[in-house]
Structure 1
Amino acid sequence: MVDIADRIALPEAISELDDVRPGSPFMRPVEFVAAALVALIIGVLLLGVTSRYVFSLPVIWIDEVASISFLWLAMLGSAIAIDRNEHLRLTLFVGMMPERLRGFANTFALLVIAAFLLAMVYPAIDYSIEESFVTSAALNIPNSWRVSAIATGIILMTLLALRHAVRTSTVRDLVLATALILAIAAAFWLLTPTFKGLGYGNILIFLLGVVALCLVAGVPIAFCFGMGTLCFLAFSTSVPMIVMVGRMDEGMSSIILLSVPIFVLLGCVLDATGMGKAIVDFLASMLGHVRAGMSYVLLGSLFLVSGISGSKVSDMATVAPALFPEMKRRGYQPKELIALLATGAAMADTVPPSIVLIVLGSVAGVSIAGLFNSGFAIAMVLLLALAVLARWKARNEDMHGVRRVSLAVIGKTALIAGPALVLPFIIRGAVGGGVATATEVSTIAVLYALIIGMILYGGISRWKFYAMFVETAALSGAILMILGTALAMAWALTQTGFARDLANFMIGLPGGWLSFMAVTIVVFMILGCVLEGLPAIVLMAPLMFPIAKNLGINDVHYSMVVVTAMNIGLMTPPIGIGFYIACKIGNVSPDEAMGAVWPYLIALLAGLVIIAVVPGISTWVL
C-alpha cells in the first residue's frame, strides 16, 4: 500500500501490481529484522498510547525507541525495495526505447544508483562518527546508534545495486555505462571553476538537467533527486557531503512520519481481510438499482475505502474487481470504467488517512488535524463533480433486469460492513478532534483492523502476517528514501537564494493571490504527471508555502489546492503515473482509455478551480 510512492515495474510504462517477487536469499535476515522493526514500532507506540490514555502515565523513552527503530526500518526497507525492484521510477521513456538500448538504459540506471550510494558511503560514516558525541535525552545513548542506520543502509544498497547490475547486464553494457558515468563525472569536475560562477545556471544544469536525464533513463526517483543534489553540491559549491546526509536524516526522521509505515500496514490488512470488499458490497446493495448507481458505488467506495487504506493503488485494486463485471454488463465501456476509476482515486486522495496529507503536514508544518478535517470537505466537492458527469454519461445505461435489493439483504450487508465503515470516521474524528495524533490513531486503527478483520472477515496466517510486515518495510523504505533525498534537494535550492527570488517574483505577479493559485495549479499538475505525489510535495512545499503565507493564503486551503492539482496531474495522460496504474488494474490498453479520461479530468479541474477561488470550502471545518 502506497500513497505517495507507488511502485513502478520495469517492463511496463507504469505498473505497480506485479506480484511481489521474493528477494534474494541472502536478504532473508534483513527482511526478518525489518519485519521485526515494524512489529516493534507498533508495539512501542501502542504501549505509549495505552500508558498515556489509560494510565495517564507517559513513558518518556517511547519516542526515542520509536525514532531509532524508524530510521533503521527506513534504510533496511529501502534496501529491500532495491532488492525487489520496488522503488518508484518512471519507465515510460525506457519503454519506448528499442530493446537493445533498453538494456543499456537499465544498466546505466543501476550504475547511477551505485555511483550515488558509493559517493555517500564515507559522508554517512563520518556523520555517524560526528553524531556519536550527541547523547539522547531519555535513553542516554549516543545518537550514532540511530544514524548508523544510514551508513548501513547505503552500503547494503550499494552492494545490491552492483549485484543486480552484474547479474542482469551484458559486459558491453556494463563497460559502456561505467565509461559514460565516469566521463560525465570527469567533465563536471573539469568544469567546476566555471560552474561556481554560473549562479542559478547550476540549478538548470544539476537540479533540472541531471535529474531529468536520470528520470528518462529509469533511475528511481529517490536516486534522481540524490544524484542531482550530489552533483550540485560537489561541483558548484564548497558544501561538504556530510551536510547532505544530515538533510536526508532530517527528511526521514520526523516523528510525524512514524504513521507512514503503520498506515501502509493498515492498507495491507484491508486487502488481506476483505474489509474493503464489504464496504463495496454494502454500497452496491444501496445504490446499485438506480441509473448511474454503479458509478456512484464506485466513487463512494473509493471515498470510503481511501479513508481506511490511505492508498490510491490499494483503493483501486479493492474496488475494480468487485464492480467492473456488473458495470460492463450494464453497458459501460472498459475505457469509461478506467476513466472513472482513475479520477475517482484522484478525488479520494484527500480523504484521511492519506499519506500525502501526513507528509505534507510534516514538510510544510501544517496541522494534520486541519488537513484531515478539510480533506473530507474537499473530497466531497470533487465527488459531486464526478457524480454529476457520471450521471450524464449513464443516460443510456442498460437497466434491463436490474432490481432493487430487498431490505433484508441491505441490512445483512450493512451488518457485515458496519465495523469496516466506522474505521475511517474513527481515524478522522480522533485526529481532527485533537483526541490523538495521526501516529497514535494509526496504531489504534491497525489494532482495530486486525482484531475486527480476523474475527469477522477472515483470518490471516502467520506467513501472511510476516509477508505483510516485509512488504510494509519495503514500501515504507521506498517512500522515506524519496523524502530524504527530496528534502536534501529542496534544501540545496533554498541555499542558492532561489526561494527568496521566486517568492519576490510570485508576490509581484499581477492579480495577487489568484495568479499565484493559478501558477500553483499548473506547477503541481506538471509535477504530478512526472514525479507522483510525495516527491513533488517534498521538493516544492518548502518553496511555495512561505510564498502562500506571505500572500495571506491559509495553509490548509493552499494544501488542498496543491494535493488536488497534483492528483489531477497524476492521472493525466500521456505521462501521468496513476493513469497507467488504473489501466493495469482494469486490464485496459492506455491508448484505448486515454480519450475517455479527459471529460472526467475536466470535471475534476472545474472542482479544483472552485476549491481554489473559494477558501471557505477548505476552511469552514477548521
Structure 2
Amino acid sequence: MTEALILLSMFAMIAIGLPIAVSILASALLGLWLLNGHLGFLNAALSIFDGATSFPLIAIPLFILAGALMNTGGISTRLIAFVSALIGFIRGGLAMVNVGVSMFFAEISGSAVADVAATGSVLIPAMKKRGYSPRFAAAITSSSASLAIIIPPSIPMILYGALSDTSIVQLFVAGIVPGVIGGFLLMALSYYFAVRYDLPREAGFSLPRLWETTKDAAWALVLPVIILGGIFGGVVTATEGAGLAVVTALFIGVFIYREIDLGRLYHALVEGVVQTAVVMLLVATSAVLGLYLTETELPQRLAQGISAVTTNKLVVLMIINVFLLFLGMILHGAAAIILTVPIFMPLVHQLGIDPVQFGILLTLNIALGQQTPPVASVLVTSCSIAKTDVWSTTKTNLPFIAVLMLVLLLVTYVPSVSLGLVDAFYDR
C-alpha cells in the first residue's frame, strides 16, 4: 500500500507541473525515509552518483552533440537535397523525402527531437509552400522522426541497455528490420494520401541532379557507415562509436562543408548540453527510485501477481504494451524507460521473454508516446515549427500512429521481425 501511495504522489507532483526529475527524486526520498529513516538519504546520494556515471550512458550526450553538429554543419540540408533528388519526383514525394531523411538522420543522432529540429525546420516550410496542409506536414515529420529512433543508433536503446544490462549492439541490430518496415509503410501511406488529395510532385527525376546531390552529400552518407560499421564490426563499442560520431560530424562541418565556425559551434554545444542535462538528470534521480523499488521488492511482487493470473507470454506482452502506451502519454520517453525497466525486467526474465525483443518493444512504445498528447514531446516540437495546433494535428496524425502501432504488434507477436538479424549475426 505504501509503495502505491509513493508512486501516486510522484504522478501527482508531475500532474501539478513539477519537473519530472524533481518529482521522481522527492517521491523516492520519501519512500526511502519511511523505510530506513535518515540512513536512506545516504544510500540515495550514492545511487545518484552511480546512476549517472555508467560508462554506456556516456554515449547519450555524445550522440546528442553529434546531432546538434549535424544540424549546424550543413549535413542535414545535404541529406534532404539527396533524398529529394532520389524519390522527390513521385507524387507526394516531399512527404516521402521527409520519411527518408528522418531514417538517414536517425542513423547518426539517435534522437527524435533532434531529428525534428534539424529536418522539420527545412522540410515543413517547404511542404507548406508546395500545398501540403500544416497539419499533414507536422504529422508526417513527427511520426517519421519517432519511428526513426528504433534505427541504430538510438538513445532510448542505449538507456534501456544500460539499465537492463542488455547488449546495446544487439539492440541496435534488432531495430534495423522494424525500422525499415515502418519507414516503407509510412512512405506507402504518404503515397496513398498524395493520390487521394492530389498532392504535388516535385521536379522530375534527373540523373545529373541526383549525381550532383550524391557528390555533395557523400560525406554525410559515409558518416553512418563509419559509425555503424565500427560498432557492428566490433571495432568500437556503442559509447566509442558515439565519440566517433562527434569527431566525424565536427570534421565534416568544419573542414569539408566549412559551415561550422566558433559561433555555430558554441550554439551546438549549448544545445547538446541542455538536452543532455534533461536526460541525465532523469537518469540520476531515477536511480534513487530504482533503489527504493529494489528494497520494497515491488517489481518481484508485481511479476508474481501477473504470473498468478497468466503465464502466457503473448497476454503478458499485451498487458505491458497497454501499460506502456498509457505511461507514454504522460511521461517523457527517458522517464518512462527509467520507471518501467526496474519494474518489468524481473517479469521478462521469469517468463523467458528475450530482453532484446523487449527493448525494441519498449522503444516503440516510447515512439508512440512521443506522438500522443498531452506530453507528445516530438509532436509538440513539430507543431511549433509548422505553427499548427497539437490536438487538430493529432487527428491528422492518427493514420501514421496506426503504422507505428502495426510495427509494435509485429515486434510483439512475431519475434523474428526484431530477433531474426540478431540470431543470424550472433548465432544465438
Residue of structure 2 equivalent to 1:215: 14
- State the distance in 1 between where 2:199 and 2:89 align: 8
TM-fit CA distance, 1:321: 3.0
The question of 1:304 aligning with 2:104 is answered yes
The question of 1:233 aligning with 2:32 is answered yes
Letter in 1 for 2:141: L
**Kept after mapping to 2: 8 A contact 1:251/1:484:** yes
Could you give the per-residue CA deviations for residues 365-399 of structure 1, whole angstroms, max 9, x where no partner exists? 11011011112222112213322222221113546
Q: TM-score, normalised by structure 1?
A: 0.65
Residue of structure 1 equivalent to 2:314: 514
TM-fit CA distance, 1:443: 1.6
TM-fit CA distance, 1:452: 1.5
TM-fit CA distance, 1:508: 3.2
Residue of structure 1 equivalent to 2:68: 268
Could you give the per-residue CA deviations for residues 443-467 of structure 1, whole angstroms, max 9, x where no partner exists? 2221111111222322322243334
Change (3 A) 1:217 1:346: same
Change (3 A) 1:476 1:287: same
Letter in 2 for 1:338: A
**Which residues of 2 match residues 39-50 of structure 1 at below 5 A?**
none
Residue of structure 2 equivalent to 1:74: none
**Kept after mapping to 2: 8 A contact 1:350/1:379:** yes
Residue of structure 2 equivalent to 1:440: 240
Residue of structure 1 equivalent to 2:135: 335
Where 1:572 maps in the other structure, the secondary structure is: coil
TM-fit CA distance, 1:527: 1.8
1:249 paired residue among 49, 55, 77: 49
**Kept after mapping to 1: 8 A contact 2:120/2:382:** no
TM-fit CA distance, 1:558: 0.9
The question of 1:603 aligning with 2:403 is answered yes
Q: TM-score, normalised by structure 2?
A: 0.93
Where 2:421 maps in the other structure, the secondary structure is: coil
Could you give the per-residue CA deviations for residues 7-51 of structure 1, whole angstroms, max 9, x where no partner exists? xxxxxxxxxxxxxxxxxxxxxxxxxxxxxxxxxxxxxxxxxxxxx
Residue of structure 1 equivalent to 2:214: 414
- State the distance in 2 between where 1:360 and 1:401 align: 41
- State the distance in 2 between where 1:222 and 1:318 align: 26
**Kept after mapping to 2: 8 A contact 1:527/1:566:** no
Change (3 A) 1:402 1:388: closer
TM-fit CA distance, 1:477: 2.5
Query: Which structure has greater helix proportion?
Result: 2
Change (3 A) 1:268 1:399: closer
Change (3 A) 1:499 1:349: same
**Kept after mapping to 2: 8 A contact 1:352/1:375:** yes
- State the distance in 2 between where 1:427 and 1:489 align: 34
Deviation larger for 294-303 or 457-466: 457-466
**Which residues of 2 match residues 429-508 of structure 1 at below 5 A?**
429-508=229-308
Where 1:332 maps in the other structure, the secondary structure is: coil
Quick one: percent identity of the two aligned structures? 28
- State the distance in 2 between where 1:419 and 1:508 align: 55
- State the distance in 2 between where 1:466 and 1:387 align: 36
Could you give the per-residue CA deviations for residues 490-522 of structure 1, whole angstroms, max 9, x where no partner exists? 221121121111111222343611011111211
**Kept after mapping to 2: 8 A contact 1:259/1:438:** yes
Deviation larger for 251-260 or 584-593: 584-593
Change (3 A) 1:462 1:534: same
Letter in 2 for 1:465: L
Residue of structure 1 equivalent to 2:196: 396
Change (3 A) 1:399 1:524: closer
The question of 1:569 aligning with 2:369 is answered yes
Change (3 A) 1:336 1:503: same
Could you give the per-residue CA deviations for residues 170-199 of structure 1, whole angstroms, max 9, x where no partner exists? xxxxxxxxxxxxxxxxxxxxxxxxxxxxxx
Deviation larger for 324-333 or 405-414: 324-333
- State the distance in 1 between where 2:377 and 2:202 align: 36
Letter in 1 for 2:327: L
**Kept after mapping to 2: 8 A contact 1:385/1:607:** no
**Which residues of 2 match residues 114-153 of structure 1 at below 5 A?**
none
Letter in 2 for 1:500: Q
Where 1:240 maps in the other structure, the secondary structure is: helix
- State the distance in 2 between where 1:612 and 1:271 align: 34
Letter in 1 for 2:22: F
**Kept after mapping to 2: 8 A contact 1:320/1:585:** yes
TM-fit CA distance, 1:227: 0.6
**Kept after mapping to 2: 8 A contact 1:524/1:562:** yes
2:344 paired residue among 519, 544, 551: 544
**Kept after mapping to 2: 8 A contact 1:374/1:619:** yes
Deviation larger for 342-351 or 391-400: 391-400
Letter in 2 for 1:621: L
Letter in 2 for 1:263: F
TM-fit CA distance, 1:235: 3.3
- State the distance in 2 between where 1:251 and 1:415 align: 44
Aligned Cα RMSD in Å? 1.9
Change (3 A) 1:456 1:520: same
Deviation larger for 275-284 or 543-552: 543-552
Letter in 2 for 1:212: F
Structure 1 portions without partners, runs of 5+? 1-200
- State the distance in 1 between where 2:290 and 2:326 align: 17
Q: Count residues in correspondence.
A: 421
Residue of structure 2 equivalent to 1:384: 184
TM-fit CA distance, 1:529: 1.6
Where 2:217 maps in the other structure, the secondary structure is: helix
Change (3 A) 1:553 1:433: farther
**Which residues of 2 match residues 162-177 of structure 1 at below 5 A?**
none
The question of 1:371 aligning with 2:184 is answered no
**Kept after mapping to 2: 8 A contact 1:307/1:353:** yes
Deviation larger for 315-324 or 339-348: 315-324
Change (3 A) 1:402 1:377: closer
Residue of structure 2 equivalent to 1:23: none
Change (3 A) 1:548 1:408: same
Structure possessing the higher relative contact order (Cα contacts under 8 Å, 6 or more residues apart): 2
Residue of structure 2 equivalent to 1:224: 23
